[in-house]
Amino acid sequence: MQLNTIKPAAGAKHAKRRVGRGIGSGLGKTAGRGHKGQKSRAGGYHKVGFEGGQMPLQRRLPKRGFKSASLKFNAEISLTDLQRLEAAEVDLLTLKQAGLVPELAKVVKVIKSGELSRAVSLKGIGATAGAKAAIEAAGGSLAD
């Protein structure tokens, strides 16, 4: 096969619709634009969201809500996840390798959900007050 012999598959390409080329084409006279009105005229069209002077929808509705773009860098794990993890020392890299937090995560926090019965040492991972108490009660420690 050479570059000069390559062709698109049969039926993949078709002729562009040529409007305003006579009555026989089916798209003559008004060329599919209907009769009169702004949309039928050359250069006559309105901007996106324009409703003919009526207050547009995006301005009628109240401004509400906000979703921080930094949320994707935060993650949380439960005490149950820590229990399942075999490592005695847990840091961000360990959690990423285990697939417990996304690769994008920069800040991880342990929440008090489930049980922890073995000592786990956390490095560079935050914890809620309840989770911290549970980790220390199991003989673990937290280091920032």
Tell me: the pLDDT tens digits for 113-130? 999 999 999 999 999 999
Q: 11 vs 14, 17, 56, CA distance in Å? A: 7, 15, 43
Sign for the pseudo-dihedral over CA of 27, 32, 36, 41: negative
Tens digits of per-residue pLDDT, 19-77? 999 999 999 999 999 999 888 999 888 889 999 899 999 999 999 999 889 899 999 99
Q: Which domains does the chain have, with CATH numbers?
A: 69-143 (3.100.10.10)
Taking only the tens place, the pLDDT of each residue in 45-59 is: 888 999 989 999 999
